Structure 1
């Protein structure tokens, strides 16, 4: 098997394939053509993404080692230069300096330093290529996840018609017994409107369910069942596996993995609340193991209002309201390609990261950049996930979860 000498990722994949063929001792028998499943595409995307991370880390380590070697050579050149130009004492010609202690000639040292600089330049070019490839892989990974979510939604429609989906058990193996989306497919007459209705009908196990709010197609949600009712998870951040710096359409439709990091989608959240409001719960966690939980009443408008979040005065002040009316404040949602924040001189989503209900850019952003460790530079930290009134403006949080439960009046009005 011959492999073209292209990028490092292609070499690694090609070598792995060649190793498998050689281990079998003969070429693999031809198989009938088939389409790759979504699980296989996901595995490939995750593998390529991990390969990009590995190549990048290797280049960074190599560059650091070469930099350290170059600093040592520079120090040696400064210390050994005069020694190389000093003549040996004439009175002791019979005691030559051992070869191991001789200082290298200046021209040899300069040549070695030039080689190191050339090698550094090549490594820098490779580093830039790896970084670009990693960005491309991350974009492709997000696109795959978005397509998979759309396929799941189409499959859920077929479930209502009594058509089974055999691939569902593969996608959610841990929840196959009690929390499989097909778990509530027996309700062929009507799916539950939201997680709260599931709770009222006796469901007490949290997990993944199909729901269908009034006037909306069915879709998959994560239900969190607590003592006070059924909550729908609309956002989760925990490991940085999903890029949240997305445009308006992505935040409208939703993205990510329901079993990991994800954003449910503004249109889905609006359909759950029915435009009549409900309660929003925010769960925060820092890097020291501390946790904070907040709940407050909200009302989410439709796309014609830029999915504005209407808040009462006490809560609005915590989210960056410059001026609050007695009835509260309406905060529109903003992304880098659709700026609706309250700052006239700045695009908060572009200056920071992610899409959010920005007030003045400095009070909260739970969809910011995920840092696996706290950066030293203050300018970087402000782009992270933060909630100012808890850990401060420049503390990037480790994990967040946002949940919503429609008001009782909303459920009654939809009946």
Structure 2
């Protein structure tokens, strides 16, 4: 009968393999030490995984062979019991009596005992191999994770950062949002575009920021002589549908290099409890442009992200009922109506989500029209700013930017 590998033999094989790999990877004394390349680490991890899979397959195959052998021995035992039944059991010293009253030869009993012991050792080996395989798989995942993180610190990617400490890496595409939990930066991320400006950045583009108490996220920063502004909305070609529910406006949508809405929760995390300035840039179909700036305060979700405006600004926007402290406009969508009209859902009647007052003052998230519709009822669903071109003139392009005006407390 062919011998079966034991747990000790398998462990000796693993130790010998590890020793051989260690000996091959050890540098010669005269040479300076070096780190193994990622390819070598991947080959090593792959080889260890293959070894674990091979041992596991061998154990399972051996267990199957032992099971078949045990069945054959049981069949042989029954035949032997039949042949021994005609002899005198009392005169056979090397026999035992089976539970059924039939004699079982001592040789067969010894084989069965050895088989059970061998099966027990194989079971232990199988458990050890399975445990080792799980450990190797976890190590392999850790290697892949470390490889992806260290790859971000490659000198070819961070050359500009090394030579210019004030320069931060701009991320070109929306897909880079997957780096939100990037832990490989040498220092913390800026809280907003204004802080980025104060640290020396003067070029506009896409950057990662991390407001206090928030996870990192990607923003489009506009650097001007007034400081750093965060772009929170852009309309320019109708490529993105803005008629969306509350959760979409809360999270944000679109492409920060094209049409997009940053997201109410991100806007609130940038401003926090600080006062801010809101800049609104408008453009009509004749090439005329208008730029407005006014102080605002943006509340959290518990206030329906209310936009608080001072009394003079609220009057310019056409508000008729204003308290001494100004006007507070909650944000509304077609599925969450918070506007100031009790008899009408402005977001459902018009289009998109907005800080609606009485439906007729402004809506920069309305339906995009490539030409001015003839029907008045259709035009009022478009993008409009009443105090500039009127309610029934759908604008060609808009951009909204925000900038905190108060310093945040140091964390």
TM range (shorter): 0.5 to 0.7
Shift of residue 297, structure 1, vs aligned partner: 0.3
> What does residue range 237-252 of structure 1 map to in structure 2 within 5 Å?
237-252=235-250
CA contact (8 A) 2:169 2:207 kept: no
| Structure 1 residue 227, shift from structure 2 partner | 0.5
What stretches of structure 2 of length at least 5 have no aligned partner? 1-144, 158-167
1:365 — aligned with what? 363
In structure 2, relative to structure 1, the CA distance for the partners of 1:258 and 1:159 (3 Å cut) is farther
Asked whether the equivalents of residues 277 and 406 of structure 1 are also in contact (C-alpha less than 8 Å), the reply is yes
Per the TM alignment, residue 193 of structure 1 is displaced from its structure 2 partner at its CA by: 0.3
Mapping 1:40-55, distance limit 5 Å: none
| Among 142, 145, 152, the residue aligned to 1:164 | 152
Q: 1:330 to 1:402 in 2, by over 3 A?
A: same
Residues 4-403 of structure 1: pairs in structure 2 closer than 5 A: 164=152, 179-180=170-171, 187-403=185-401
Per-residue Cα deviation, 1:258-317 (whole angstroms, up to 9, x for no partner): 110000000000000012221000000000000000000000000000000000011112
TM-score, normalised via structure 1 length: 0.56
Which is higher, the Rg of structure 1 or of structure 2?
Answer: 2
Within 1, Cα distance between the matches of 2:399 and 2:251?
18
SS of residue in 2 equivalent to 1:413? coil
Provide the secondary structure at the position in 1 that maps to 2:195.
helix
Distance 1:330 1:162, change over 3 A: farther
Give, in whole Å, the separation in 2 of the partners of 1:376 and 1:232: 36
Give 1:321 deviation, angstroms. Answer: 2.6
Q: d(CA) in 1 for partners of 2:361 and 2:150?
A: 48
CA distance in 2, matches of 1:379, 1:159: 58
C-alpha separation in 1, matches of 2:250 and 2:148: 24
Structure 1 residue 159: Cα displacement: 12
Judge conservation of contact 2:332–2:339 (CA < 8 Å) in 1. yes
2: CA distance between counterparts of 1:404 and 1:180?
20
1:191 to 1:326, Cα distance in 2 relative to 1, 3 A: same
Shift of 1:373: 0.4
Separation (CA, whole Å) in 1 of partners of 2:185 and 2:331: 35
Q: Distance in 2 between matches of 1:303 and 1:329?
A: 17
Distance in 1 separating the partners of 2:401 and 2:146? 27
Distance 2:147 2:359 in 1: 43
In 1: Cα distance, 2:410 partner to 2:368 partner = 38
Q: CA deviation at 1:326?
A: 1.2
> Displacement of 1:255 after TM fit?
0.2
Give secondary structure in 1 for the equivalent of 2:197: helix
Take 1:165 and 1:286, find their aligned partners in 2: how far apart are those partners? 45
Q: Deviations over 1:154-209 (max 9, x none)?
A: xxx9999656399xx9xxxxxxx963368998743310000001100110000000
Backbone CA RMSD of aligned residues: 2.8
Change (3 A) 1:161 1:247: same
SS of the equivalent of 1:220 reads strand
Q: Can you give the 5+ residue segments of structure 1 that lack an aligned partner in the other structure? A: 1-156, 170-176
1:371-397 deviation line (CA, Å, top 9, x unaligned): 000001111100000000000010000
Q: Aligned residue pairs: how many?
A: 249
Taking the aligned partners of 2:208 and 2:336, their CA distance within structure 1 comes to 31
